[in-house]
Amino acid sequence: MRVSRLMLVTLRDVPADAEIASHQLLLRGGYIRRVGSGIYAYLPLMWRVLRKISAIVQQEMDATGALETLLPQLQPAELWERSGRWQGYTAGEGIMFHLEDRQGRQVGLGPTHEEVVTSLAGELLRSYRQLPVTVYQIQNKFRDEIRPRFGLMRGREFIMKDAYSFHADEQDLGRCYGEMDLAYRRIFERCGLQAVAVEADSGAIGGAASQEFMVTAEAGEDLILTSEDGSYAANLEKAVSIPTPATPLPAGDERVIDTPNQASIDELCSGQDLDASQVVKVLALLARMESGSQQPVLISLRGDQELNEVKLANAVCATLDGGVLDITPISAEQVSKQGLEPWPFGALGPDLPDSVLEGAKSWTTQFLRLADPTAAELDRFVCGANTPDQHRWGSNWSRLDGSPKAIDLRNAQAGDRCLQSPDQTLVARRGIEVGHIFQLGRKYSQAMDATFTTAEGGQDAFWMGCYGIGVSRLAQAAVEQHHDKAGICWPLAIAPFQVVIVVANMQDDTQLQLGEQLYSTLQASGIDVLLDDRSERAGVKFKDADLIGIPWRLVVGRDAANGQVELVERATRDTQVLPHAEAITALRQVMNTITSPTVD
Ligand code: ATP
Ligand code: MG
């Protein structure tokens, strides 16, 4: 390809709305253009990158025996009603774009494809003899993200590879999940990415495994915790740890203390000279359940710990045996709207009586009470007295009618000891989630009644797995991991072109001819080569070549007269001046080191 024909528009200035390096560089390098919020055009250079990544993904998926398909993006509401997800995905903060067709039927644009694929499997896979089956596709997904940002990192239309597997039993699902894990590791490695596999939350589906693949980068939106040697890694939602020990409360009898203007843990601790680990903090929240009920929840946490909302949602689901739509803090205003007397916010105790809920308009009138073990294990502590501006000092659980059900509800923190190897402490890192593998179990197949005939002649719901890779996010994550001040340094396997030939002076016939000759030779060798044939100053072309980040640069300049060229490796800037035939040989050798397909 010739740069003069490439529609290449590079930008010198950093675009105002791009906060992170990879987003800035993709915009500046003429890879992407913003069309709307979270909506991007992939320009020709970008499309080549995406096709190269897709080709690697396809090869590795095909190698597992998965079958490539293409499922519809326009999905009838009825399918999502069968799985019970229509409401959650379209109402409130739901992320599904949805619309009404001319017949007045509801349809949604696919944010994911479990519903479509499960219903197909139910129709096509009738017998255990047809199992296992894995299908995959690479195509656009639509999600009306609340905060689309960072370019391709969180788009509202983006490219995903998603795969779904169907099995006769849990064991076979586990086998497939293990194969996908390995395939994912190969994919990221071949793309030149350093990705860490971390344990992830698998929702309230009992026992199911889930793992995310994170590209570690400062700009990542996810927080991950790892042991120092990396043998344990989990995202914040899932991570567990040994908490730091609490500071014991000095000896003394239980007493009520006045705590005016000490409604927060910080205020209470500085006002009363306490350590936060000596306090039990109580949070009142409202869980909206899929069943329609609205359940008030009272959480006790040690004062120095933070509530983990995902663990809480799972605990509420498991305890009440039902799906949770959302859990939000209860405000004084909500309490009054329910027709209830004001609650002593800022001084709530774990024993806040259920009577405060009596007569509520739409809430259940009994608290679900849960405590994190850090709180449940405290012998003596300070907690709210359920009277405004008063706390109890030196209280204990037996004084409060016993501790509520203890269940892990807190965030593990950097500096905590690692549960799996207690001599190590946890370190926090930021990550970009580029892939996710998940044992779904029978959640969808049971809900959608997708069954097959077993060897014994009975009907059983499929065991399912799903496996996603954010193809467009991965492309940008690669830039986040591989760039310098001057621009992108693409890993060779996913670079839009492998080599760029820069003819320094287009007016010089010798240079031009040698440039053209090398261009044809490299093309004939099956190398993806770009020829910068623009009549720009050499300096401009070098700057652009640095910016767009082609891994190898062949400069045809003054030395062309004696058959010499300059070969530069973009990432290291290693430069050699050598006869042009040798440069070609060197490039051929480098290209042989990668197994990725070229794109034409
Ligand atoms: P996130 O937590 O980042 O919102 P997710 O867990 O909802 O992502 P999945 O449903 O697991 O995403 O989708 C599979 C993969 O698709 C993710 O691992 C991620 O790489 C990618 N992905 C998800 N949402 C987006 C998005 N809005 N833009 C680009 N890629 C995305
Ligand atoms: Mg995910």
pLDDT digits 0-9 by tens, 365-374: 999 999 999 9
Q: Is the CB of 112 under 6 A from ligand 1?
A: yes
Question: How many A from CA of 114 to the centre of ligand 1?
Answer: 15
Answer yes or no: is pLDDT of 427 > 70: yes
Considering only CA atoms, which of 69, 59, 95, 65 is closest in space to residue 80?
95
Amino acid found at 246: A
Find all residues with CB under 8 Å of 136, minimum gap 6, and list them.
61, 66, 67, 68, 69, 161, 162, 163, 164, 467
Nearest CA to ligand 1 atom 16: 470
Residue 192 pLDDT > 60: yes
* 267 in contact with ligand 1, CB cutoff 6 A: no
Backbone angles phi, psi at 422, to 5 degrees: -60, -15
**Ligand 1 atom nearest to CA at 474:** 20
Mutate to test the pocket of ligand 1, among 109, 436, 466, 480 (most ligand atoms within 8 A of CB): 436
**In contact, 199 and 500? CB cutoff 8 Å:** no
Distance 226 CA to ligand 1 centre (A): 21
Query: From the CA of 433, how far away is ligand 2's center (Å)?
Result: 7
- Taking CA atoms only, the protein residue closest to ligand 1 atom 11 is 436
- Alpha-helical regions (H) of 459-552: 471-481, 509-524, 538-548
Residue nearest to atom 25 of ligand 1 (CA): 154
C-beta of residue 138 within 8 angstroms of C-beta of residue 70: no
* pLDDT score of 282 more than 60: yes
Residue 145 CB less than 6 A away from ligand 1: yes
- What are the tens digits of pLDDT across the range 84-142? 999 889 988 899 999 999 999 999 999 999 999 999 999 999 999 999 999 999 999 99
Tell me the mean pLDDT in the region 23-28: 98
The residue contributing the CA closest to ligand 1 atom 4 is 154
Q: Is the pLDDT confidence value at 204 over 70?
A: no
Q: Is the CB of 213 under 6 A from ligand 1?
A: no
- Which of 433, 467, 474 to mutate to test ligand 1, by most ligand atoms within 8 A of the CB atom? 433
Predicted TM-score (pTM) of this structure: 0.90
- Rounded to the nearest angstrom, the distance between the alpha carbon of 333 and the centre of ligand 2 is 35
Tokens (6 digits) for 273: 């000279």
Least distant ligand from the CA of 433: 1
Please name which ligand lies nearest the alpha carbon of 160. 1
Domains along the chain? 3-73+110-240+428-480 (3.30.930.10), 255-406 (3.90.960.10), 497-591 (3.40.50.800)
- Tokens representing residue 51 in the block: 């096709």
Mutate to test the pocket of ligand 1, among 136, 222, 473 (most ligand atoms within 8 A of CB): 473
Dump pLDDT digits (tens) for 148-159.
999 999 999 999
Q: How far is the CA of 112 from the centre of ligand 2 (A)?
A: 11
Q: Is the CB of 468 under 6 A from ligand 1?
A: yes
Q: How far is the CA of 212 from the centre of ligand 2 (A)?
A: 7
According to the model, what pLDDT value does residue 77 have? 98
Tell me which of 431 and 597 has the higher pLDDT.
Answer: 431
Asked whether the predicted pLDDT for residue 240 surpasses 60, the reply is yes
Q: Nearest C-alpha to atom 21 of ligand 1 is from which residue?
A: 470
The single residue listed with the structure tokens 């009272």 is: 298
141 lines ligand 1 (CB under 6 A): no
Q: Which residue among 53, 160, 199, 215 is best mutated to probe the pocket of ligand 1, counting the most ligand atoms within 8 A of its Cβ?
A: 160
Q: Residue of the nearest CA to atom 13 in ligand 1?
A: 468
C-alpha distances (whole Å) from 63 to each of 10, 58, 482 are: 38, 8, 28
Closest ligand 1 atom, CA of 162? 14
- Identify the residue whose C-alpha is closest to ligand 1 atom 28: 154
Confidence of residue 595 (pLDDT cuts 50, 70, 90): low
Taking the C-alpha atoms of residue 479 and residue 487, their distance in angstroms, rounded to an integer, is 9
What is the 166 CA–ligand 1 centroid distance (Å)?
22
Interval 302-353: pLDDT, tens:
999 999 999 999 999 999 988 888 899 999 999 999 999 999 999 999 999 9
Q: What is the pLDDT of residue 208?
A: 78
Question: What is the CA angle 238-132-140, rounded to 5?
Answer: 60
Per-residue confidence (pLDDT) for residue 206, from 0 to 100 = 52
Instruction: Calculate what percentage of the chain has a pLDDT beyond 90.
Output: 93
Distance (angstroms) between ligand 2 centre and the Cα of 50 equals 20
Instruction: Output the pLDDT for position 594.
Output: 74
Average pLDDT, the chain: 95
User: How many C-beta atoms surround the C-beta of residue 1 within 10 A?
Assistant: 19
Judge contact between 161 and 469, C-beta under 8 A: yes
